[in-house]
Structure 1
Amino acid sequence: MFYWVMKRIIVGPILNLLFRPWVKGLDNVPSTGAAVFVSNHLSFSDSIFLPIVVPRPVVFLAKSEYFTGKGIKGRLTALFFRLSNQLPMDRSGGAASSSSLSAGMDILNEGGILGIYPEGTRSPDGRLYRGKTGVAKLVLATGVPVVPVAMIGTDKVQPIGRRIPNIRRVGVIIGEPLDFSRYEGLEDDRFVQRSVTDEIMYELMRLSGQEYVDAYASTVKERLAAEKAAGRKSPKPGADTRRAAVRISTDAGAPAPGAVTEIGGAAGVRKPGVADDGQTAENGRPQAG
């Protein structure tokens, strides 16, 4: 009830009036049945603007820190996230992350729409970063379609660290559903998980037009934080991964999903079958990439 009141009576009308969000591909939203919405993550407001334009409820996996705050402000924040159809997602990995994904699986088993940010955290510089395989595990285990979504301009509305948003238009591009049923029975294969994740990220890159960086956004953020704490002047976020970055071409000769683009001798788009540590398994033995 709270979700619909906020969307249709309070928050929704106000945001539609102020930010005039535009949307493309609304007909790609399944009218019934479960689906996973995967989106790039530019701003805190992504989780607000996407549900506004989608006719069905969207349940997001949000970082667990939003649900564990202390004091009055922390409790109110946690209450708002719970009432607005968001579930805590533990990003520390291991059993904690698996438990969080199980909560998402429950939503899908009930026929709902689950929203996930494959990058795991907001982009530090507006570029698209390497996806984590949790989304692939969820999709392969449930067999539901994946709907790619590109958020446009939300980083200009509410940059990281800014509480009061800038008033300007935002956009949402909803792509055609992706079907990974060809991998049925291989949900525990980590190379298949990486291949599915990379295909999803390729589609997000194509829809959003973002530059892709073959590195985890969380790793870049940790490095920047460490440099700041040490008092060193930080280079532009992602500068050390510039050779691994690639921007999608709109020409007819654009690379197909999973293709390798060589930029300065480094692979720009990860080839399916490359493990998380950047090594390729061959004959059961890892080799240096």
Structure 2
Amino acid sequence: MSYYTFFKRALFKPLVQVLMRPRLEGTERVPLSGGALVAGNHVSGWDTLVIPAMLPRQMTFPAKAELFVSRGPVSRVVAWFVTVVGILPMDRSGGRASASSMDVVLDALRAGKVVGIFPEGTRSPDGRLYRGRTGVARLALATGVPVIPVGVQHTHPPSWRRSVVRFGEPLDFSAYAGAGNDRDVLRHVTDEVMAAIQALSGQPYVEVYASGVKAALREGREVEAVEVERPGLGRTAPPLPHRP
């Protein structure tokens, strides 16, 4: 039995089941083998436990590289834990280091692993769904793996309401595989992923980045965050890349 399986059975899943009493929908939609991206909304820090605890396959997340550095007793335990359960280190300093970190995620997907990602890039500041970052599109197009949307609700424990975890139909963007770094394609794919998440989570959608709203709130500035019906509203799908 792997460390991941042990911790999931002995700690993660029992803890989630006791605190959140989650109701699951659509687990049969998760492919039983092969690489996949699980893309979800992010309303609570507990989402990083709830989703993998309820997923019928082993799943890993990218995490900041600082967690893997041992500086004291506590950090040594954290570094050991994230290593043995297969969390992927991500360098967020930018440049070549960040690019190399992305290669770690690409290698995991190509090796047939399931990787979780929150396209919003940060937790929602107010419970609404915010504009997705295009990293999810870049990973999907570079590897050809399906994107499995997931929508969670009521993941702030303890809550009198049962948490809900809904998995959607896998999304296939292989038709755009030859698009490279085309910005219109990356935005279209990202919006389609966010639309699928919204359909599962039932959240109002805001066409701005959550990080910008959080920064404005910290600085005491007002920010316009107008809700729209769905991600990508009014934008047409880009043409498929030419194939000889």
Normalised by the length of structure 1, the TM-score is 0.74
205-214 or 174-183, larger mean C-alpha shift: 205-214
CA contact (8 A) 2:38 2:149 kept: yes
Paired residue secondary structure (1:241): coil
What is the match of residue 176 of structure 1? 169
Change (3 A) 1:72 1:201: same
Query: How far apart are 1:242 and its partner, in Å?
Result: 3.2
Change (3 A) 1:167 1:209: closer
81-90 or 32-41, larger mean C-alpha shift: 81-90
Question: C-alpha offsets along residues 29-79 of structure 1, whole Å, 9 cap, x if unaligned?
Answer: 001111111111111111111111111101111234544574333332333
Change (3 A) 1:118 1:112: same
Paired residue secondary structure (1:220): helix
CA distance in structure 2 between the partners assigned to 1:69 and 1:43 by the alignment: 26
CA distance in structure 2 between the partners assigned to 1:170 and 1:35 by the alignment: 24
Structure 2 letter corresponding to 1:259: L
Change (3 A) 1:259 1:219: closer
What is the match of residue 241 of structure 2? none
Query: How far apart are 1:151 and its partner, in Å?
Result: 1.3
Question: C-alpha offsets along residues 184-225 of structure 1, whole Å, 9 cap, x if unaligned?
Answer: 211221221111111111111111111111111111112222
Normalised by the length of structure 2, the TM-score is 0.87
Q: Report whether the alignment pairs 1:242 with 2:225.
A: yes
Structure 2 letter corresponding to 1:11: F
The higher relative CO (CA closer than 8 Å, separation ≥ 6) is in: 2
Q: Where in structure 2 are there 5+ consecutive unaligned residues?
A: 239-244
Change (3 A) 1:223 1:67: farther
What is the match of residue 7 of structure 1? 8
Query: How far apart are 1:272 and its partner, in Å?
Result: 5.3
CA distance in structure 2 between the partners assigned to 1:272 and 1:95 by the alignment: 32
Structure 1 letter corresponding to 2:233: A
Q: Report whether the alignment pairs 1:197 with 2:190.
A: yes
Question: C-alpha offsets along residues 95-150 of structure 1, whole Å, 9 cap, x if unaligned?
Answer: 34322221111111111111111111111111111111111111101111110011
1:45-64 counterparts in 2 under 5 A? Answer: 45-64=46-65
CA distance in structure 1 between the partners assigned to 2:74 and 2:161 by the alignment: 28
C-alpha RMSD of the superposition? 2.3
Paired residue secondary structure (1:242): coil
Identity %: 47
What is the match of residue 180 of structure 2? 187
Aligned length: 237
Change (3 A) 1:208 1:247: farther
CA distance in structure 1 between the partners assigned to 2:213 and 2:70 by the alignment: 25
CA distance in structure 2 between the partners assigned to 1:10 and 1:242 by the alignment: 39
Paired residue secondary structure (2:178): coil
Change (3 A) 1:82 1:145: same
Query: How far apart are 1:91 and its partner, in Å?
Result: 4.1
Query: How far apart are 1:259 and its partner, in Å?
Result: 3.2
CA distance in structure 1 between the partners assigned to 2:43 and 2:67 by the alignment: 17
CA distance in structure 2 between the partners assigned to 1:103 and 1:29 by the alignment: 23
CA distance in structure 1 between the partners assigned to 2:70 and 2:219 by the alignment: 24
Change (3 A) 1:121 1:167: same
Structure 1 letter corresponding to 2:194: M
Q: Which has the larger radius of gyration?
A: 1
Structure 2 letter corresponding to 1:246: V
CA distance in structure 2 between the partners assigned to 1:202 and 1:18 by the alignment: 29
CA contact (8 A) 1:136 1:197 kept: yes
Structure 2 letter corresponding to 1:209: G
